[in-house]
Amino acid sequence: MAKLQFLLFDAGLVYTLGRLVLKNVQQGAATTCYVALNPEVKGVTGEYFADSNLSKASSKGRDIDLAKKLWDFSQNLTR
Protein backbone atom coordinates (compact mmCIF):
# COMPACT_ATOMS: atom_id res chain seq x y z
CA MET A 1 0.00 0.00 0.00
CA ALA A 2 2.84 2.41 0.80
CA LYS A 3 4.35 1.85 -2.65
CA LEU A 4 1.00 2.64 -4.29
CA GLN A 5 0.66 5.81 -2.22
CA PHE A 6 4.17 6.85 -3.21
CA LEU A 7 3.42 6.25 -6.91
CA LEU A 8 0.19 8.23 -6.71
CA PHE A 9 1.97 11.07 -4.91
CA ASP A 10 4.77 10.95 -7.48
CA ALA A 11 2.31 11.02 -10.39
CA GLY A 12 0.42 13.90 -8.79
CA LEU A 13 3.61 15.84 -8.25
CA VAL A 14 4.74 15.30 -11.84
CA TYR A 15 1.31 16.36 -13.12
CA THR A 16 1.27 19.50 -10.98
CA LEU A 17 4.80 20.53 -11.93
CA GLY A 18 4.11 19.73 -15.57
CA ARG A 19 1.11 22.04 -15.62
CA LEU A 20 3.32 24.85 -14.35
CA VAL A 21 6.13 24.50 -16.89
CA LEU A 22 4.66 22.73 -19.93
CA LYS A 23 2.33 24.10 -22.58
CA ASN A 24 -1.17 22.84 -23.23
CA VAL A 25 -2.21 21.75 -26.73
CA GLN A 26 -3.37 25.19 -27.81
CA GLN A 27 -0.21 26.87 -26.53
CA GLY A 28 1.95 24.23 -28.17
CA ALA A 29 0.26 24.73 -31.54
CA ALA A 30 0.21 28.55 -31.41
CA THR A 31 3.59 29.19 -33.06
CA THR A 32 2.97 26.67 -35.84
CA CYS A 33 -0.41 28.25 -36.57
CA TYR A 34 1.07 31.76 -36.39
CA VAL A 35 3.79 30.96 -38.92
CA ALA A 36 1.37 29.11 -41.21
CA LEU A 37 -1.42 31.69 -41.20
CA ASN A 38 -0.12 35.15 -40.31
CA PRO A 39 0.41 37.40 -43.36
CA GLU A 40 3.20 39.26 -41.54
CA VAL A 41 5.50 36.26 -41.97
CA LYS A 42 4.43 35.31 -45.50
CA GLY A 43 7.53 34.47 -47.51
CA VAL A 44 9.76 34.18 -44.44
CA THR A 45 11.72 30.95 -44.79
CA GLY A 46 14.65 29.30 -43.04
CA GLU A 47 14.01 31.10 -39.77
CA TYR A 48 13.35 29.83 -36.25
CA PHE A 49 10.27 30.90 -34.32
CA ALA A 50 9.56 30.44 -30.61
CA ASP A 51 6.41 31.58 -28.82
CA SER A 52 5.15 33.19 -32.05
CA ASN A 53 8.25 35.36 -32.37
CA LEU A 54 11.24 35.26 -34.66
CA SER A 55 14.02 33.89 -32.51
CA LYS A 56 17.58 32.62 -32.67
CA ALA A 57 18.14 28.87 -32.57
CA SER A 58 20.48 27.47 -29.94
CA SER A 59 24.10 26.77 -30.84
CA LYS A 60 23.20 23.10 -31.36
CA GLY A 61 20.38 24.17 -33.65
CA ARG A 62 22.90 26.05 -35.81
CA ASP A 63 25.56 23.31 -35.79
CA ILE A 64 25.96 22.13 -39.41
CA ASP A 65 27.99 19.04 -38.47
CA LEU A 66 25.40 17.98 -35.91
CA ALA A 67 22.63 18.55 -38.46
CA LYS A 68 24.42 16.26 -40.93
CA LYS A 69 24.80 13.55 -38.26
CA LEU A 70 21.10 13.80 -37.45
CA TRP A 71 20.19 13.65 -41.15
CA ASP A 72 22.37 10.58 -41.72
CA PHE A 73 21.02 8.88 -38.60
CA SER A 74 17.44 9.58 -39.69
CA GLN A 75 18.09 8.24 -43.17
CA ASN A 76 19.52 5.02 -41.72
CA LEU A 77 16.35 4.55 -39.66
CA THR A 78 14.21 4.57 -42.81
CA ARG A 79 16.21 2.03 -44.79
Amino acid 18: pLDDT: 73
Q: pLDDT tier at 73 (50, 70, 90 boundaries)?
A: very high
Domain ranges, ordered by start, for the chain: 24-79
**pLDDT beyond 80 at 59:** yes
**β-sheet bridge partners, residue 49:** 54
**pLDDT beyond 80 at 8:** no
**pLDDT beyond 70 at 51:** yes
- Report percent pLDDT > 90 for the chain: 67
pTM over 0.75: no
